[in-house]
Chains A and B, each alone.
Chain A
């Protein structure tokens, strides 16, 4: 009650002097503070005591009367006329209601993905892949899909601050110039610039100019999960930093040494997924099917696609690689297989050796440098160089070993040698730096700390200056992808909060501090004569005009020609295998991985990603300590029990999630959770494991674990592990497929006869839409789920609602295990609306809110829906989603900008579901009608299909026998789920064909009659 300190002495005196035993209500009462007196006086605080005071009462009544009268008067006022002003100058090509697409690129971890961004009247709304770009070839990963939500995140930092005070941009420039001029005498010896991995040629060029001016200054690149091992491994093997670029399409046999090359992440994974899946799709020649071996500790999507998966502790993968290397004839390498893996080593080595020149060994970024070197040596020994692997210069302009660089920075800061530290981007070192660096502590010794980023994050909190950064959709820049191809990053919208791009921040370190990003990027590219020359059709007399034409072509295409790196001739360096490999330690190890959704924590405030079920565990909104079944039993822990993980005296407590197939005696934690300054969505979700992660073992290392105290509710969207003998997912070995290509059709529980109904089937005269999903190509990477969410304005519901089974994803990816509990096969099955021909949902809706249209779509009429939920009950696939509460955010203005204007925003009490992106069908129909033609095959691309890195989802007109979808549906592998219900789904699946090595043990295939050939493992947890 009282803002002032109470005078306790006076209170004691008052109590002593009071006669009798007077009760007192509070210290304030005894002290008779003015506040308490006022409180007594105004028992009904607002205006009530005015009634007792004649003067006050009158003025109160006057005011009250006046305000009432005025309130009434406003009701009579005509609202001001709002004129609709047409464009004075119509932007080029802009037709209101029709989106425009612009090419740009997003960088993550130093690798760019080319994008085409849909723009509605100046608002970017949806991200697609750029088909011209070598990374995705039209696909993107889930991070690119979700980045549109980060653009509009209302929690982004909005103002430039110095020590919490709002300052103008000019003040920042002054501060930057001042701290630099103080460094002029020493050549910038006390100046440090900390960035993410820089794959922007322009930014690198700018920084190098600064460094040229201040030669003693230093530039540190830091990614929380750096690719140091890959870089160091290449240097160890070849004596220089090179980027191995794999051609998965050319590889018959692939060995992954803990490389999760199919998951969402940087390092050209989209390219890998496309190439890999090209060899999983069974066309005319089934022998094109490749074979994948994965040795890994933590079940990943790549492990899920493996024909043979060997679960091993991360520290044993190297020994396994050594044993394989010894057998495939890598000179000078000896080694024995880790216990119990002799058969696998022998089988894999023999298989690799039998496919010389068509084999591929890939090492994961988490594996130490010597394993990378070993992989390079194996590829060399197998003659794969030039066929399945090429070595290119790195996409980052200046490759470095970042952990060592950061360590040096910390040492310098501790020693007081750093006066100015500028931190750019989302690497958030205060949160992400190895725990033993004590980065925040060291940083506090720097006099001037400047930060620029999208969020006022943990690092910004400890910096003097903070400049709001720009999202990549708000800035001019450029970016190289894995093979070096550059893309000009162009803005789709003005910076929402007046942010400054890294180019503009670095410009403040130069003599021309107020340059904008556009000028800087153009200035750099004007020096790139080769790129201009390689751009066709740009010749003009005037070099400026030539450049202008080339520039426009680059912006339009989204790629700059002749920027792709050319392969380097590399040879194994002398003594590449020098240095004994450390022996794998016994005992438990802890493994640090980037989170499949949050990456390194930078996406923590992205609700789409938080709510996205992780590909393998199906967990949402939290990370967990993943352990195998046997290890969980040994530790006596169940899902949700806390596990205390201790490494080098650092302990964190993380709840356990049992992950079938996880290597024994190992526990995996994903980083990026437990943020404190992420924003309203990300704060306080999950558990921060960075404090556990030391610089000695940034990816894995020995640890002690024991059951902790208490439990924590982890939320998974799929509780049940097995298929329960049902034929929803069907698979066969390659041999079995060759013997009986139509095996999936023979797995039906019940064959339906044609004469099942008296009524003739409806005849579709025009289009008849359908979808086919190739279970052999799908990796379960989740990109389609986020793409669907972005395209269809699907709300985020939060952890509590997900726990209650109310997630809203129109498209979900079902995951089933089969086989050995310690090393099961994993199947991923995307499950959109099946768009049944005899839809069970349609007949039960009392108000006819879900009806069939004449192109076979099962339409949902939101306006008509009253929400009985009968349709959902009667949907055998349970793909319908209900707005149990008001899930959609109707108030935040930023989110209004983000939404797709072609899709209704649903309100409370309404059922919704996948529409096959009917808005896209209609857009294509309008185009086709205007041009007086039929809709072409491939003209309608659903959001999930467009984004799919492996082209597993194909949509089209099944009435056209030549369409891609019709051809897929004619495949012998094609089957409908739950066909015996005679709902006749339009979404069908192509059964999986696995290619196990006959000489190695493998799990049985699934889908046969009554689960006879499926072992009954797994259970309700």
Chain B
């Protein structure tokens, strides 16, 4: 049982800072979170942000509509570059989702209390990111209306099963499992807070809606007991998923014979990259939200600092991966592997590789500096850049490997079209729309969990709600 928490302001800076601002009690925490969805006043900034998201969503609808009418030829994909923005975006979004699961599952098991105030919206981010990601594997196919169910093993009159040796089938299982567990975990974690909302709601509609969603939660000891068990089980289920989902996604590449894809280093390197980009996205979201809604006392600099440190650590793993890729290419003595690396560095897409190295190996070293980690504005900009960097990583892996492989005769270039960009920015629109709806209508911080951080909660230290043995 951790015993940190209420440190006095003015303690030496090198020591851990509090995960809660000073002067908090049950009421202030609950009030500052619960009033956001319950307020009838919609902030102008929210409307503005939501409309941007909605605009993107409209664009996505148009891009999908045209895609279904005309076919994937509206994108820039070709032979040899059969996958491009579609799969880049898929991997990117799935990777982003990983931070939420890491925070809610692994950090829970490791009893990292700082996770409590960011877990809720990080999990929401996971779900929305997975929703965006899931669009691509379906829509990138030539005949999505068939792919929608032919990739699932269902008994049929043709006596046909999917090809279980294909990593794309593993992907179907990995991603659908991940989406299911994430949604269930998120909803279960919401129940106590939904009950709080029900109890605090003034309007009849809100009372009803929150009441239905709270599933009859009364906060009895039995409820809390069951809640604890369910959370632990789900955390246990989610924990391997953090590692397995992106491992399976990396198999899409690692299992192939293509130089630049066929690499044993991919699973750990992909998982680290996913967590890196996921935390970058959490920061991208957390920094403006805590400022806009005055939640600095709940999402403290301690959180920001910790997340920056996780990013630094995972970025170093990713950087190691880049170095090892180059080393393997040289050490393999295989002409195709060597050429792949040479082409990545000096070929027509060389600028993407060097930009990627600059961001993910160079720029990220700034996070060693405390002054950078404590400068939220700079960190916000950096987190955006890191997300671009991770998108570039997938671009480099997918496009530069494909565009020049074994036979020089089939080498070609890939250029994205406007529809590629519309699909990509459209999913960002979808994500923003969902996220803005979330912060407006759902308590974005787990109130009941954060409350346990208060000294008051430590009275019954052996039987506290977050206790457990």
Contacts and interface: CB of A to CB of B under 8 A. Distances in A.
A976 to B, nearest CB: 13
Interface string A848-870: 10000000000000001111111
Contacts of A814: 407, 409-410
B71 A884 contact: yes
Contact of A804 (B76, B151, B335, B407): B76
Contacts of B167: 844
A736 interface: no
A843 interface: yes
Given A845-B163, A866-B151, A981-B257, A873 B402 contact: yes
Nearest to A867: B142
Nearest first, the 7 closest Cβ-Cβ pairs linking A and B are: A867-B142, A909-B142, A884-B73, A885-B73, A869-B82, A805-B78, A814-B409
Contacts of A882: 79, 82, 142
B265 to A, nearest CB: 19
Nearest to B409: A814
What's the dominant secondary structure at chain B's contact region?
loop
B143 A867 contact: yes
Interface string B158-189: 00111101111100100000000000000000
Given A726-B335, A812-B409, A877-B410, A866 B80 contact: no
Contacts of A726: 335-336, 406-408
B150 interface: yes
Interface string A968-991: 000000000110110100000000
Contacts of B405: 876, 878
Interface string A767-804: 00000000000000000000000000000000001001
Interface string B246-280: 00000010011110000000000000000000000
Interface string A746-772: 000110000000000000000000000
Contact of B80 (A805, A847, A909, A910): A805
Interface string A864-908: 111111101110111011111110000000000000000000001
Contacts of B151: 846-847, 866
Which of the four size classes fits the interface of chain B? 35 or more
B150 A866 contact: yes
29 contacts: A719-B411, A720-B409, A804-B78, A805-B78, A805-B412, A805-B413, A806-B78, A814-B410, A815-B409, A844-B163, A844-B165, A844-B166, A844-B167, A847-B147, A864-B150, A866-B144, A867-B142, A868-B140, A869-B83, A869-B140, A872-B79, A876-B257, A878-B80, A882-B82, A884-B72, A884-B73, A908-B71, A909-B142, A1010-B335
Interface string A807-824: 000001011100000000
B334 A728 contact: no
A866 B146 contact: yes
Contacts of B61: none
A513 interface: no
B242 to A, nearest CB: 24
Nearest to A851: B163
A86 to B, nearest CB: 34
Interface in B101-156: 140-144, 146-147, 150-151
A644 interface: no
B314 interface: no
Contacts of B140: 868-869
A831 interface: yes
B77 interface: yes
B268 to A, nearest CB: 22
Nearest to B401: A873
A884 B420 CA distance: 14
Interface in B271-303: none
A991 to B, nearest CB: 16
A978 B410 CA distance: 14
Interface string A909-940: 11100000000000000000000000000000
A808 to B, nearest CB: 9
B162 A872 contact: no
A989 to B, nearest CB: 12
B81 interface: yes
A800 to B, nearest CB: 10
A728 B407 CA distance: 7
B406 A877 contact: yes
Given A728-B407, A805-B79, A910 B143 contact: yes
B339 interface: yes
Contacts of A719: 411-413
A154 interface: no
B469 interface: no
Given A805-B81, A814-B407, A870-B82, A844 B168 contact: yes
A545 B197 CA distance: 106
Contacts of A723: 408
Interface in A572-605: none
Nearest to A721: B408
A724 B334 CA distance: 13
Given A814-B409, A816-B409, A867 B80 contact: no
Contacts of B72: 867, 884, 909
B335 A749 contact: yes
A379 interface: no
Contact of B141 (A848, A872, A909): A909
B41 interface: no
Contacts of B336: 726
Interface in A247-281: none
Contact of B407 (A831, A867, A868): A831
Nearest to B82: A869
Contacts of A728: 406-408
B70 interface: yes
B256 A749 contact: no
Contacts of B161: 848
Interface string A33-58: 00000000000000000000000000
Nearest to A874: B256
A708 interface: no
A847 B70 CA distance: 23
